[in-house]
Structure 1
Amino acid sequence: MTDLITRPLDALTGWIFEHFLQPAMYAAGLMDWAEDAIEWLEFGLFGLFSIAIVWLVCRPLEAWRPVEPVTDRGAIRTDIVYTLLTRLGLLPLVAFVFLASLQAWWEGTVADSGFVPPTLETLFPALREMPLLAFAIYVVILDFGEYWRHRFQHMFGWWWALHSIHHAQRQMTFWTDDRNHILDEVIAALWFGAIALLIGVPPGQFPLLVLVMRLAESLSHANVRLSFGRVGERLFVSPRFHRLHHGILSIADHGKNYAVLFPVWDWIFGTADFRRDVYPRTGDPEAPEALATGGWLRQQLVGLRRMGAALTGRGQG
């Protein structure tokens, strides 16, 4: 299932490394870093691939039926910077590799006791013969985890100080998905990677899971007047459903529509708003102007200052 992505990616990685990166590293005496360089090159290429897929899906939709005209291209350019820094670094994959190393150490440590950490496939061996079903279950479980991470971002003051950067955007587009504080991104990557390892996601399927979740999140932020209908809106998160989460009224009402893929979590836990044909203005009116219109570095510094103030009980300013 993942061969359609991994094989071309591996081939392209090998070609670029052999013809460009390896000669440069050899000339600089850096061949001891060759294996690490290959891994980072593959991460970067996967990031470019994911950006291309998102652009090809979302950009035509925004041109087709935009909710609002573009009035602040500077704010969008800042969001593009966020996307490039986030997706070319591929923090979720880095976290997965890091946590996989820790898991390998832990499993080696307890091997003598005969204890084997349970995974979905060890609990339900039949899933080994049904990879598509296993993949779908992984998506559902990870989406449930993402729902609660998102709830916690709004629940804890120090975390909201970081996440408020995301909600300060008044000119929301599909690029806005990656508009997050770097510390928030690290926490999210570790959260997602840890859940994936706990349930036993195979390393070969992890990139595809990341791509599916990223595409869904980018689409939900798109500046497009699009809903999935009375039934579809209850099955999958649409741009309309998530725009209500970013709307001014939702923020004032302590938040609605936290789900990433499946609105069922919002329905179960009482945070769903299924109003149709409602496309509110976005942007947190209480956010400092720097978070709405400042550049990447300024937003990062303001976010850290606000988090520090929240942790010390001095408010967020």
Structure 2
Amino acid sequence: MIQTISDIFATVQGWLFETLVQPLVFATGMGEFVEEAFTGTEWVLVGVCELVILFVILRPLESIIPVHAISNPRARWNDFIYTVLQRLGVIPILAFLILDPVLSIAAEALHLEGWGTFNLDQVWPGVTDLALVSFFLYLIVIDLFEYGYHWAQHNVRWMWALHSLHHSQQDMNLWSDDRNHVLDDLVHDIFLGLVALAIGVEPSQYILLVSASRMLQSLQHANVRIHFGRIGEYLLVSPRFHRTHHAIGIGHESRGRNSLGGHNFAVLFPIWDVLFRTAHFAQGFAMTGVRDQLPPPAGRSRDYGQGFWRQQWLGVKRMIESSRKKVR
């Protein structure tokens, strides 16, 4: 079954590339990027599959078991725009185009100095090089770095200035995972790409790793009353666990009045929060947002914008302000 799906996917990718992408690449005089264009075609096709699966499975669940009624449909639509841009590979491909030439130069310099490459799947030959084992090994290691990066997004001023856009959604839904500032996404994807390359992840496997992570994160952000039970909550980040991270004064604000210090930074596996003592297993489904969105005296009635371009501009503005003073 899996092999059949893989074959169908490869056939569609080949047809799409040969029929549309490759002629366009050569017509625009960018023939030297034909290999990158083939990889980009795969990113786009995987993203289309993700969008279809999310809409078919998670959208009905949001209607059947919602945490709350969506009060701002426009905000949901805006989040969907972010998701299309991210899932169809616009940001990942841009990150790749920036990263690829830099890494090629770095790899050549290291090779001249006698430094070889490191492959995590070769740590235990015969075991870690098995396809399924290496996949989960890469997923775990990358998720550890994701935890650290996510923690930094809440504790480094300029990073929070950008990342706070993600937390400003008070009507969380299945598309909210990709509600991020473009600069935030770009830095994140470059960081993740560097980690993947450092541990020897193959490009084709990297796409699957990213896709698996994104699908689970869409579930985490969905407006669904779902948790994984007493044991399951420790194994995989659930919508309830991650919703606590988005809660005002409990989950995401690492400092400030009524804050518990910042919790639930794990992207996939709660074990990182348990190990670093940032886990908070709440029993309820909290309402979400950022403290300074609240009216005075609790907040500052801060505007994070309604449309895509307004949100992007305000994010840049917050980042500039953060270099001068504390932004939260």
Both proteins in one fold, TM over 0.5: yes
- TM-score w.r.t. the length of structure 2 is 0.86
- Paired residue for 1:284? 290
Verify the 8 A CA contact 1:47 1:90 in the aligned structure 2.
Answer: no
User: Structure 1: which 5+ runs fail to align?
Assistant: none
Distance 2:264 2:135 in 1: 24
Q: Deviations over 1:214-241 (max 9, x none)?
A: 0111110010111100111111110000
- Paired residue for 1:194? 194
> 1:6 and 1:200, CA in 2 relative to 1: closer, same or farther beyond 3 A?
farther
- Paired residue for 2:260? 253
Distance 2:222 2:19 in 1: 38
Residue 206 (str. 1) matches residue 206 (str. 2): yes
> 1:266 and 1:21, CA in 2 relative to 1: closer, same or farther beyond 3 A?
closer
> 1:124 and 1:90, CA in 2 relative to 1: closer, same or farther beyond 3 A?
farther
Verify the 8 A CA contact 1:2 1:208 in the aligned structure 2.
Answer: no
- CA RMSD after TM alignment: 2.6
Stretch moving more, 96-105 or 238-247: 96-105
Distance 2:33 2:187 in 1: 28
Partner-residue secondary structure (3-state), 1:302: helix
Distance 1:204 1:16 in 2: 17
- Paired residue for 2:126? 126
* Higher helix content, 1 or 2: 1
Verify the 8 A CA contact 2:86 2:92 in the aligned structure 1.
Answer: no
Distance 2:5 2:191 in 1: 24
- Paired residue for 2:276? 269
Give the alignment partner of residue 313 of structure 2, picking from 285, 301, 305: 301
- Paired residue for 1:79? 79
Distance 1:214 1:153 in 2: 18
Percent sequence identity is 38
Q: Deviations over 1:157-196 (max 9, x none)?
A: 1111101101110000111000000000011101111111
Distance 1:103 1:37 in 2: 18
Residue 89 (str. 1) matches residue 86 (str. 2): no
> 1:90 and 1:132, CA in 2 relative to 1: closer, same or farther beyond 3 A?
farther
Counterpart residue identity of residue 259, structure 1: A
Distance 1:9 1:138 in 2: 23
- Paired residue for 2:322? 310
- Paired residue for 1:43? 43
Verify the 8 A CA contact 1:13 1:42 in the aligned structure 2.
Answer: yes
- Paired residue for 2:151? 151
Distance 2:220 2:89 in 1: 22
Q: Deviations over 1:7-49 (max 9, x none)?
A: 43432233234444556677x5657477254443333222212
Distance 2:31 2:93 in 1: 22
Aligned residues, how many? 313
CA deviation after TM superposition for structure 1 residue 94, in Å: 4.9
Residue 229 (str. 1) matches residue 229 (str. 2): yes
Task: Work out which structure has the larger RCO, using CA pairs closer than 8 Å and 6 or more positions apart in sequence.
Answer: 1
- Paired residue for 2:296? none
- Paired residue for 1:60? 60
Counterpart residue identity of residue 321, structure 2: A
Distance 2:308 2:71 in 1: 19
Q: Deviations over 1:58-92 (max 9, x none)?
A: 22321221000111101111101111112213534
Distance 1:37 1:286 in 2: 43
CA deviation after TM superposition for structure 1 residue 248, in Å: 1.4
Verify the 8 A CA contact 2:46 2:211 in the aligned structure 1.
Answer: no
Counterpart residue identity of residue 62, structure 2: E
- TM-score w.r.t. the length of structure 1 is 0.88
Stretch moving more, 72-81 or 128-137: 128-137
> 1:23 and 1:155, CA in 2 relative to 1: closer, same or farther beyond 3 A?
closer
Counterpart residue identity of residue 290, structure 1: D
Verify the 8 A CA contact 1:237 1:263 in the aligned structure 2.
Answer: yes
Verify the 8 A CA contact 1:92 1:193 in the aligned structure 2.
Answer: no
> 1:170 and 1:74, CA in 2 relative to 1: closer, same or farther beyond 3 A?
same
- Paired residue for 1:243? 243
User: Structure 2: which 5+ runs fail to align?
Assistant: 254-258, 294-300
Distance 2:197 2:233 in 1: 30
Counterpart residue identity of residue 192, structure 1: L
Distance 2:33 2:129 in 1: 36
